[in-house]
A and B are shown apart, each in its own frame.
Chain A
């Protein structure tokens, strides 16, 4: 069965630290990949997406993600986090069927 897994449930780090959140999926075919973010009290919003082309994609607020097809991974990175990056982050995958499957989410807490 197709599935999406996020490696970390809760990540705590200090401002200026680097962030990397893991996301893996199980499916051998074509996929579209997304990272969404949910800031406290706000809508779920799109951070970045990958459909095709350059596997390194850049999103809003200094985030980027790299698609590694051989590893079925789409990890999210930010070189230097800020307190305002405190949020819940969701990886989502479309398995070519117009639906999204979401990972369980990773809560990121950035300490000032």
Chain B
């Protein structure tokens, strides 16, 4: 069953701790993305990666870090430098670059992070 998995579904952390959110896809997609969803603000792009071992900052990258060592995996670390980390985090992937559906993104179920 192909798709995007994110774990865990709910995550609680104490203020000042780094936390890593998992995102795995078995769709053979090249590009992967991390978004943050806050009420009334839609989805905002944190980081994206179009190919293994390469990634770019999105609109709100401060306080976050990523790695892309494998095509299937794109973990996001929320660091203690992120001033307001409590949010719903969504991972997405899209088909090979310059193909007919390159821009179409498919989303995982999300991780709700609460920092206490």
Contact = CB atoms under 8 A, between A and B. Distances in A.
Interface residues of B, number: 25
A68 interface: no
Interface in A77-112: 90, 92, 94, 98-105
A92 B37 CA distance: 14
Contacts of A104: 40-42
B103 A94 contact: yes
Contacts of A99: 33, 45, 48, 58
Contacts of B33: 99-100
Nearest to A94: B103
B106 A46 contact: yes
Contact of A98 (B41, B43, B103, B110): B103
Contacts, number: 54
B36 to A, nearest CB: 11
Contacts of B106: 46
Main DSSP-derived SS at the A contact region: strand
A45 interface: yes
Interface string A28-51: 000010101000001111100101
Q: From B43, B45, B100, B104, name the one whose CB has the most chain A CB atoms within 10 angstroms.
A: B43
B60 to A, nearest CB: 12
A94 B40 CA distance: 20
A103 B40 CA distance: 9
Contacts of A43: 107-110
Interface of A: 4, 6, 9, 32, 34, 36, 42-46, 49, 51, 90, 92, 94, 98-105
